[in-house]
Amino acid sequence: MNIFEALRESHDRQRAYADALIQTNGDTPERVEAYQRFKSELQAHETAEERHFYIPLMEFDNGVDLSRHAIAEHHEMDEMMETLDETEMSSPAWLAAAKKLAEKVNHHMEEEEQKFFQMAGKLLDDKQKETLAGQYVKEYKAQLS
């Protein structure tokens, strides 16, 4: 497995969890559970992706801008989750904010997969791609537990 395949596995889970989240209604156990699942996945992925993908890419001159951009977006998504945490789950504002977050996350993953992965593919050698995958998966699992 290389780092791109490892990252995509979580992206696919995030897409599924985000879709499920915006189908939920009001202050229900389903919504609480769907949000917790989505949030845990996103947070574990962000941290592991920063530590074992973006920070190593920062070593390259051509990796600095893309890493900064992606990490800034992680921060924006974290702030959107903070907003959700502070919003009454039964209010229409909660679903509106959840939809905005889902859109943001989808856009972010699209940009990573279509643009950043291609750029990183040219910077990292095969050995690095494999080593980073192992480190990423280990960190991701540690974050989730």
For residue 4, which of 89, 129, 90 has the smallest C-alpha distance? Answer: 129
H or E element: which one contains 143?
helix 126-144
Within 2-41, which residues bind Fe ion (CB under 5 A)? none
Give CA separation, 4 vs 11, 121, 131, 142, in Å: 10, 9, 12, 19
Give min distance, CB of 14 to Fe ion, in A. Answer: 8
Per-residue x/- track, 47-86, Fe ion (CB under 5 A)? --x-------------------------------------
Among residues 49 and 139, whose Cβ is nearest to Fe ion? 49
Query: Which one of the spans 20-28, 43-51, 93-101, 129-137 is the region binding Fe ion (CB under 5 A)?
Result: 43-51
Query: Which one of the spans 80-88, 91-99, 108-116, 135-143 is the region binding Fe ion (CB under 5 A)?
Result: 108-116
CA 20 to chain centre: 16
CA distance 35 to 24: 9
List residues binding Fe ion (CB under 5 A). 49, 112
